[in-house]
Copies of this chain bind each other. A is one copy, B any other.
């Protein structure tokens, strides 16, 4: 039985492939939508919680709201981190990713069709090995789709309204030792000169492009290569999401 922290990430034979992806729906008996998604050794538990009503600033608008919260369990990483609840404040990285998740999912929501309902997407990282935010977005989409189906079945969403205007998936790309790489694991991410997270809709358009030079600034040519790679990865993930929702994954 494999135990402890001596585990090694399995390197992929073809560096421009996605790591193995799994998407398990119905992982919570309480949540209206729930998914355990894995990108390689990264595992994120995504739940979608539907409540009637909207935040105060949106009341009476007839429009719904969708938001995200991201967190890591303290031992999701190789070295245990302090809980943010114990430190009494949320760190900048957590804030940044929570906001990204919310924005990404809202990109495919028709607020009017959703009506005055709120959906919260909680993405808790059980095990981290790079790409936790992109796995979170990709999994949260599936949980969101299930939650909306539930809301329709409960008549919280009016008959004939389609709150989802498309699908959304996300992937990380980076340049490691001069080679563009798709879906970086932690070790690759640490060594990357440039690191980019890309969120796409199912029709291939961009929702978010966040590229960061880690070691060296990048030029337009490198940027283009990364965008090509990310677009392909997102399309592949969109296909897996579709299969998961059809029950054919």
Contact = CB atoms under 8 A, between A and B. Distances in A.
Given A29-B127, A83-B71, A150-B4, A210 B213 contact: no
B26 A3 contact: yes
Contact of A217 (B85, B99, B124, B205): B205
A212 B164 CA distance: 19
Per DSSP, are chain A's interface residues mostly helix, strand or loop, or mixed? mixed
Contact of A206 (B31, B85, B146, B218): B218
Contacts of A7: 29-30
Interface stretch (A53-61, A90-98, A175-183): A90-98
A49 B75 contact: yes
Given A83-B69, A127-B30, A146-B3, A218 B247 contact: no
Contact of A95 (B49, B92, B216): B92
Given A29-B7, A99-B96, A208-B212, A80 B223 contact: no
Q: Which 5 pairs from chain A and chain B are nearest by CB?
A: A205-B217, A92-B95, A84-B85, A7-B29, A49-B80
